[in-house]
């Protein structure tokens, strides 16, 4: 069981059409690339029916030239792949509760930045909206579409993808077929599925998924809001598992760490946060998560609380508690090798 299961299962009952699947626990995250059938699925409004012959991607707004692409047109553009961690920021009604919905996948598609550059963005443009074809009621509010926004500078980044493949295969219906946005390093909520319209504008989107939800209140000042965009540093211990019983002998702890900016270091505590020691961290490949390992020789039998704490390349450190990226802890028991 994931600690997140509860929230979403309760939520999914009160949201007709909402889909939330969490097939993996943290300790199942053994492979660098997460197989597609092990990925979580999150859709607030259900899956729309799409006729691929009729479907078009439209780009309009503050650009010199509007444009439309069919699926075929997109398949003929230069193809790119990127390996990217994929994290759901959690239940937007409880934004400070960690859910550890993290995976790592390879997306394939075309570079959004290259397309937008060619359309000549007007100087008044500050944001780009991404419109999905799903619609319905979420938290009592009806939406004609799932709409997210990102800053224009980000949309011009060549690494932002209009993706039509996941781990080498065409997107399935629940993953956003025919096309979804992928903003490497941003939380999954920004990765709009069933994409139909890209709109270049001077303001943020007024829809619920960019205002009421997915807009963090910063500090004590509840008037200051911060969009749920760049992923804060986070880490999870994959081995040992929660409640595992280990022998009193040298152990190799390991796990994954990730952040928008990449991870500089991971520290491990084996004494409930009193002391911390540096783990070894692998270099980042593209926007992938980074593996860390830590050699640990427990000194005595007993119960231990193991924790990992990541620092990103800007020096931001994972908080111990009360944030969505709070430190993850694993409680284990060490038994003496001779004990029966």
Nearest alpha-carbon partner for 229 in 288, 155, 158, 136:
155
Residues 181-200 that bind Mo ion (CB under 5 A): 188-189
Judged by CB under 6 A, the residue of 175, 197, 284, 324 near ligand MTE is 175
Of 188 and 255, nearer to Mo ion (C-beta) is: 188
Is 150 among the residues that bind Mo ion (CB under 5 A)? no
Check if the beta carbon of residue 311 is closer than 8 Å to that of residue 263: yes
Of 104 and 265, nearer to Mo ion (C-beta) is: 104
Spell out the alpha helix ranges (H) of the chain.
5-14, 71-75, 112-118, 152-155
Name the CA dihedral angle for 200, 201, 207, 209, rounded to a multiple of 10 degrees: 60
Our measurement of the distance from residue 271's CA atom to the centroid of its chain's CA atoms, rounded to an integer in Å, reads 30
Write the CA distances from 277 to 52, 122, 151, 250, 316, integer angstroms.
53, 50, 38, 16, 17
CB of 268 to ligand MTE, least distance (A): 28
Is 194 among the residues that bind ligand MTE (CB under 6 A)? yes
CB of 188 to Mo ion, least distance (A): 5
CB of 22 to Mo ion, least distance (A): 11
- List the x/- string, 59-98, binding to Mo ion by CB under 5 A: -----------------------------x----------
What is the C-alpha separation between 229 and 127, in angstroms, rounded?
13
Is 45 among the residues that bind Mo ion (CB under 5 A)? no
Write the CA distances from 338 to 303, 304, 333, integer angstroms.
17, 19, 15
Of 63 and 231, nearer to ligand MTE (C-beta) is: 231
Of 44 and 309, nearer to Mo ion (C-beta) is: 44
Q: Which stretch binds ligand MTE (CB under 6 A): 26-34, 119-127, 187-195, 331-339?
A: 187-195
Question: What stretch of H or E contains 104?
Answer: strand 102-111
What is the C-alpha separation between 45 and 16, in angstroms, rounded?
8
CB of 146 to ligand MTE, least distance (A): 4
CB of 102 to Mo ion, least distance (A): 11
Strand partners of residue 19? 43
Is 146 among the residues that bind ligand MTE (CB under 6 A)? yes
Site for ligand MTE, rule CB under 6 A: 39-45, 88, 132, 134, 146, 175, 188-189, 191-194
> Contact positions toward Mo ion, by CB under 5 A?
42, 88, 188-189
């Amino acid at each position: 069981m994931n600690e997140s299961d509860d929230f979403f299962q309760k939520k999914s009952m009160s949201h007709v059409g909402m889909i939330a699947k969490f097939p993996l626990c943290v300790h199942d995250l053994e492979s660098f690339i997460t197989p597609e059938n092990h990925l979580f699925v999150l859709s607030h409004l259900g899956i729309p029916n799409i006729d691929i012959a009729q479907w078009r991607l439209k780009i309009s707004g503050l650009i010199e030239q509007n444009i439309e692409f069919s699926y075929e047109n997109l398949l003929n553009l230069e193809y790119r792949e990127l390996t990217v961690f994929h994290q759901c920021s959690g239940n937007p009604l409880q934004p400070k509760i960690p859910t550890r919905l993290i995976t790592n996948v390879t997306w394939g598609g075309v570079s959004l930045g290259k397309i937008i550059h060619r359309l000549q963005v007007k100087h008044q443009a500050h944001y780009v909206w991404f419109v999905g074809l799903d619609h319905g009621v979420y938290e009592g509010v009806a939406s004609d579409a799932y709409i997210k926004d990102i800053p224009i500078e980000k949309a011009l980044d060549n690494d932002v993808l209009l993706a039509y493949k996941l781990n080498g295969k065409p997107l399935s219906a629940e993953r956003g077929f025919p096309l979804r946005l992928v903003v490497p390093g941003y939380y999954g909520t920004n990765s709009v599925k069933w994409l139909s319209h890209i709109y270049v504008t001077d303001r943020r989107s007024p829809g619920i998924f960019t205002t009421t939800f997915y807009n963090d209140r910063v500090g004590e000042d509840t008037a200051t809001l911060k969009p749920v965009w760049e992923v804060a540093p986070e880490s999870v211990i994959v081995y040992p598992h929660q409640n595992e019983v280990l022998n009193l002998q040298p152990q190799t702890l390991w796990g994954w760490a990730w952040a928008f900016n990449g991870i500089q270091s991971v520290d491990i505590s084996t004494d409930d946060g009193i002391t911390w020691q540096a783990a070894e961290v692998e270099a980042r490949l593209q926007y992938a998560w980074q593996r860390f390992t830590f050699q640990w020789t427990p000194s005595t039998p007993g119960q231990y609380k193991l924790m990992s704490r990541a620092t990103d390349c800007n020096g931001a450190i994972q908080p111990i508690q009360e944030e969505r990226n709070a430190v993850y802890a694993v409680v284990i028991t060490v038994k003496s090798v001779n004990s029966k």
